[in-house]
A and B are shown apart, each in its own frame.
Chain A
Amino acid sequence: MNEEAFAKQLVMKLDVGLTELRPEVVERLESARFRARDLARLKSHEHAVHSAHGLAVIGWVRQHRAGTVGMLLVLLLGVAVAMWQSSSNGNDDTADVDAALLTGDLPVNAYLDNHLNKWTSGDSNN
């Protein structure tokens, strides 16, 4: 007898052992199988719903091609405007700081005065 035939003989005997499982083991396996089936049903339904939503979106885009292109153009325009604004604001950073400094309550020289001695004694030019 070769290896394969011997192995086949062994597994035939193992097959016989499958019919001798205790009833509680069989019941537990059956219950696990039912739970798996219910879960598969649920997941299968979820997949179907997701793919239906996906198909609905694709269908809408096909039906309203001009509208979709228009929306995309508006979106691109908005992004371009936002980018242009942010880049132009970057140049005015120093001006903003200067303006904030000049409109503050303290004069500029007060910031240069170490302990504000000159400014508080009234010798400040400002």
Chain B
Amino acid sequence: MNAADRLSHFLAGVERKAFRQAVYAVRDEQGALDIVQDAMMKLAEKYPDAPENELPLLFQRILQNTIRDYYRRQKVRNFWVSPMSFFASGQEGQEDHDPMEHVQATDVNSDPFYVLATDKSLASIQKAIEKLPGRQREAFLLRYWEEMDVAETATVMGCSEGSVKTHCSRAVHALATMLKNKGSSYE
């Protein structure tokens, strides 16, 4: 298997998680798809021959930076667009985002009981994760979902290992509080 095929094989394994991470961060599917595509292209352009064991860390660093770039661009765009749309429509509250609109439709062919039980809690978890502060969400997803150790998470986030532990702990507590009513608390 050559380097390009290795890269493609790696991306096939992480693309869905990367997409979900981007959705949790930017709350927009199209934006998330653009982010994942950008991250893939940057990885291919800068590190076409990177060893397989280095790809996860490199890709996560690129992905998180691309998400931050997207935020910056949105901020600049909103700076100019928001005042104009406010004057144009006079309806300030319409930009409020409903995280539930991104919850995916269930597969009708699956077991209905399983779908009901799983999807309900999944939707709650996804909604709770979207509500987390950015750094906490980033730390939680990298540490537990991407199964990175504290040092790797710190490298990707560009902060100390202590900060990662703090962000993770706060994220888990916040999620537990938000999901308490759904019966998912760990206390």
A contact residues vs B (CB 8 Å cutoff): 1-11, 13-14, 16-18, 20-22, 25-26, 28-30, 32-41, 43-44, 47
Contacts and interface: CB of A to CB of B under 8 A. Distances in A.
B145 A11 contact: yes
Contacts of A47: 48-49
A9 B122 CA distance: 11
Nearest to B106: A20
Given A21-B16, A22-B104, A43-B44, A37 B7 contact: yes
Interface in B144-159: 144-145
Contact of B20 (A14, A28, A34, A41): A14
Interface in B165-180: 168-169, 172-173, 175-176
A29 B19 CA distance: 8
B45 interface: yes
A7 B104 contact: no
Given A5-B186, A33-B11, 18 more contacts: A2-B186, A4-B144, A6-B175, A7-B172, A10-B125, A14-B122, A14-B126, A14-B129, A14-B145, A16-B118, A20-B107, A26-B16, A29-B19, A29-B36, A38-B4, A41-B4, A43-B45, A47-B49
Contacts of B2: 41, 44
Contact of B3 (A10, A18, A35, A40): A40
Contacts of A9: 184
Contact of B186 (A3, A13, A22, A40): A3
A1 B179 CA distance: 15
Contact of B121 (A4, A13, A35, A39): A13
B44 A40 contact: yes
Chain B interface size band reads 35 or more
Contacts of B48: 39-41, 43-44, 47
B43 interface: yes
B8 A34 contact: yes
B57 interface: no
B70 to A, nearest CB: 15
Contacts of A25: 19, 29, 33
A6 B176 contact: yes
